[in-house]
Amino acid sequence: MAVQPYDPENIFAKILRGEIPCTKVYEDDHVLAFNDIAPQAPTHVLVIPKGSYTSYDDFALNASDAEIVAYTRAIGKISKEAGVVEDGYRLIANTREHGRQDVPHLHVHILGGEKLPRMLPGA
Ligand code: AMP
């Protein structure tokens, strides 16, 4: 199956254009982070690049070095500022159908603030 092109009508593209609101926790030239609308842990932040990338593989292969550095550093800064670094946290990037990605704009979930369930059933 061919990889779908970027859909500019996805909900995170609308957040980036200011068409729908978000609870912003971080922003720089290349990155926006906001609280997940349906948190699955006491800390649940979504970190997105401002560029139009569908997935981590798309981003890693096609983004500029400046975007990749900014995104990686932002995830570190946001995790630290959220207070989850000491006790630990989880990063998740669900990808396409098998990864059960609902919103087709790259986002990393930062989850923490409590001891999380094991990652996959039976793990
Ligand atoms: P995923 O299944 O990895 O694509 O995750 C999409 C995430 O986006 C889910 O955790 C949703 O709760 C979250 N989400 C959907 N709409 C919004 C929104 N308007 N603001 C914040 N988070 C959202």
Dump pLDDT digits (tens) for 65-86. Answer: 999 999 999 999 999 999 999 9
Give residue 123's pLDDT: 55
From ligand 1's centre to the CA of 1, what distance in Å?
A: 25
How is the chain split into domains, by residue range?
A: 11-112
Residues with CB under 6 A from ligand 1: 11, 20, 22, 34, 36-38, 46, 94, 100-103
CATH superfamily of 11-112: HIT-like (3.30.428.10)
Give residue 122's pLDDT: 65
- Is residue 44 annotated as a catalytic residue, yes or no? no
Give residue 121's pLDDT: 75
Rounded to two decimals, what is the model's pTM?
A: 0.97
Q: What are phi and psi of 115, to 5 degrees?
A: -75, 120
From ligand 1's centre to the CA of 123, what distance in Å?
A: 25
Structure-block tokens of residue 61 = 């292969």
23-49 b/e with 16+ CB inside 10 Å = b?
eebbeeebbbbbebeeeebebbbbbbb
